[in-house]
């Protein structure tokens, strides 16, 4: 019986199907590198996207000015509010310099809300002109234009905080309580984009709070 001679070609010992052509390897590497590059670009763009104004908490970031630096230091005498201040803290200027009728209504509401286990904390109340100017400057830097900043921070000439006629209340459960019960005390939310901002509207006790403005730029008082 004649035997078929074995091939002397060393390539015959490796099945063709188990080998990856060099060109295919190069293509796979190119695709992998492209995916990595695209992912890096997407991550960089997402990092640079501006935060939603709904977290304003944006406002919270503007409510405590930086100490020192350009413009000098600001403190409690200008209306800066330390942590944990309530509507009953008479020694804090931001509270003590509020309009007396506004403060009285706030304390009545806070006493009643206390029965539900809630506490009204003051995030911002009365402010000095210097404080308001600082906040406005920071808002312009944050939002990129005076027009956009005006949706969140008024000028010193128009701000009800400077006149002592506005207060920013927290935390969220306290503002939710005020949203439901505030009218009975004459306390009204003025702007839809600022659920923390309350002012006194005595007529609300009998007639309910007036229609809210979308933001301060819609308020005629801000057009002075």
Is residue 151 over pLDDT 70?
Answer: yes
- What average pLDDT does the structure give for the chain? 81
| Across 54-63, 91-100, 177-186, 203-212, least confident range | 54-63
Tell me what pLDDT residue 55 has: 34
Greatest mean pLDDT among 7-16, 46-55, 179-188 lies in 179-188
| Contact (CB, 8 A) for 65 and 74 | yes
Tell me what pLDDT residue 160 has: 98
Is residue 34 over pLDDT 50?
Answer: yes
Record the tokens describing residue 64, joined without a space: 């405590």
Tell me what pLDDT residue 49 has: 37
> Contacts for 187-193 with beta carbons within 8 Å, 24 or more apart?
187/105, 187/106, 187/109, 190/166, 190/219, 191/215, 191/216, 191/219, 193/53, 193/56, 193/151, 193/152
Pairwise CA distance, residues 145 & 36, whole Å: 36
Q: What is the mean pLDDT of residues 202-208?
A: 97
| Across 31-35, 202-206, 215-219, least confident range | 31-35
Tell me what pLDDT residue 157 has: 96
Is residue 159 over pLDDT 50?
Answer: yes
SS3 per-residue string spanning 157-215: CCCCCCCCCEEEEECHHHHHHHHHHHHHHCEEECECCCCCEEEECCCHHHHCCCCCECC
Instruction: Name which of 71, 65, 76, 67 is nearest 139 in CA terms.
Output: 65
Tell me what pLDDT residue 223 has: 87
Pairwise CA distance, residues 184 & 163, whole Å: 23
| Contact (CB, 8 A) for 86 and 119 | yes
**Cis link prior to 171 (omega < 30° from 0)?**
yes
Tell me what pLDDT residue 224 has: 72
Over residues 36-85, the pLDDT tens digits come to 555 554 454 444 433 333 333 334 445 444 443 345 689 999 999 999 99
pLDDT band at 91 (very low <50, low <70, confident <90, very high): very high
Share of residues in the chain with pLDDT > 90 (%): 67
Residue 186 neighbours by CB distance under 10 Å: 23
Tell me what pLDDT residue 144 has: 96
Is residue 23 over pLDDT 50?
Answer: yes
Is residue 135 over pLDDT 90?
Answer: yes
């Amino acid at each position: 019986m004649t035997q078929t001679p074995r091939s002397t070609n060393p390539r015959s010992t490796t099945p063709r199907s188990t080998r990856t052509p060099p060109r295919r390897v190069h293509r796979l590497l190119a695709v992998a590198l492209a995916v990595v590059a695209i992912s890096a670009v997407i991550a960089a763009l997402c990092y640079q996207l501006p935060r939603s104004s709904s977290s304003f908490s944006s406002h919270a970031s503007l409510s405590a000015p930086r100490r020192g630096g350009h413009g000098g230091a600001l403190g409690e005498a200008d209306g800066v509010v330390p942590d944990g201040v309530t509507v009953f803290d008479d020694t804090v200027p931001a509270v003590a310099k509020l309009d007396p009728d506004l403060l009285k209504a706030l304390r009545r509401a806070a006493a009643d809300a206390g029965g539900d286990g809630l506490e009204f904390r003051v995030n911002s109340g009365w402010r000095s002109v210097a404080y308001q100017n600082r906040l406005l400057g920071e808002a312009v830097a944050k939002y990129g234009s005076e027009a956009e900043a005006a949706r969140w921070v008024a000028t010193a000439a128009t701000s009800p905080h400077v006149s002592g006629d506005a207060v920013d209340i927290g935390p969220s459960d306290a503002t939710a309580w005020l949203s439901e019960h505030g009218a009975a005390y004459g306390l009204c939310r003025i702007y839809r984009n600022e659920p923390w901002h309350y002012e006194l509207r005595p007529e609300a006790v009998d007639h309910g709070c007036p229609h809210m403005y979308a933001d301060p730029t819609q308020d005629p008082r801000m057009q002075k």
